[in-house]
Chain A
Amino acid sequence: MAVFRKLSLHAGPAFLACCLFALLLYGCNGRSRQVRTSETFLALDTVIEITVYGSDEGSNREILEGAKELCQWYEELFSITIETSDISRFNAAAGPVQVDPHTAEVVELGLHYSEASRGVFDITIAPVSSLWNFGESGAIPPAEEIAAGLKLVGYRKVIAKDLILDKQDGAQLDLGGIAKGYIADKLGYYLRENGVENALINLGGNILALGRKPDNTPWTIGLEKPFAENGDWICRIALSEGSIVTSGISQRYFLQDGMIYHHLLDTATGYPVQNGLYSVSILSKTSVEAEALSTTCFLLGLDAGMELVNRTPGVEAVFVDSSYRIYQSENLETAYEIQWEKASLSD
Chain B
Amino acid sequence: MKSNGKRLPFQIKTIDLVVLCVVFALCVGLYIFRSWGVQEPGRHVEIFENGSLVYAAPVDEDQTVTLEGNTVVIFQSRVHMSRADCPDQVCVNMGTISRANQLITCLPNRVVVKLTGESGRDGVDTVIR
Report the Cα distance A205→B127, complex, angstroms.
Answer: 8
Contact across chains for B107 and A40 when beta carbons are under 8 A apart: no
Residues of B contacting A342 in the complex (Cβ-Cβ under 8 angstroms):
none
The 8 Å CB contact of A246, one of B31, B35, B128, is: B128
- Give the interface residue-count category, chain B: 35 or more
Report the Cα distance A38→B115, complex, angstroms.
Answer: 12
Question: Would you list which residues of chain B between 85 and 106 have a CB under 8 Å from chain A?
Answer: 86-90, 93-99, 101-103, 105
Across the interface, name the chain A residue whose C-beta is closest to B35.
A29
- Tell me whether A29 and B31 are in contact in the complex, defined as CB-CB below 8 angstroms, given that A220-B125, A222-B127, A230-B96 are known contacts: yes
Contact across chains for B95 and A222 when beta carbons are under 8 A apart: no
Contact across chains for A220 and B119 when beta carbons are under 8 A apart: yes
How many contacting A-B pairs (Cβ < 8 A)?
A: 139
In the assembled complex, B51 has its CB within 8 A of some CB on chain A: yes
Residues of B contacting A244 in the complex (Cβ-Cβ under 8 angstroms):
128
- Tell me whether A136 and B10 are in contact in the complex, defined as CB-CB below 8 angstroms, given that A49-B103, A230-B95, A281-B128 are known contacts: no
The 8 Å CB contact of A136, one of B28, B88, B110, is: B88
**A114-147 interface mask toward B, CB cutoff 8 Å, 1 = contact, 0 = none?**
0000000000000000000011110000000000
Residues of A contacting B107 in the complex (Cβ-Cβ under 8 angstroms):
42, 45-47
The 8 Å CB contact of B112, one of A40, A200, A246, is: A40
Residues of B contacting A18 in the complex (Cβ-Cβ under 8 angstroms):
20, 23-24, 27
Report the Cα distance A202→B97, complex, angstroms.
Answer: 18
Which 6 A-B pairs have CB atoms at the shortest separation, nearest pair first? A135-B88, A229-B95, A222-B124, A224-B129, A18-B23, A137-B87
Q: Which residues of B contact A (CB under 8 A)?
A: 10-13, 15-16, 19-20, 23-24, 27-28, 30-31, 34-35, 38, 48, 51, 86-90, 93-99, 101-103, 105, 107, 110, 112, 114, 116, 118-119, 123-129
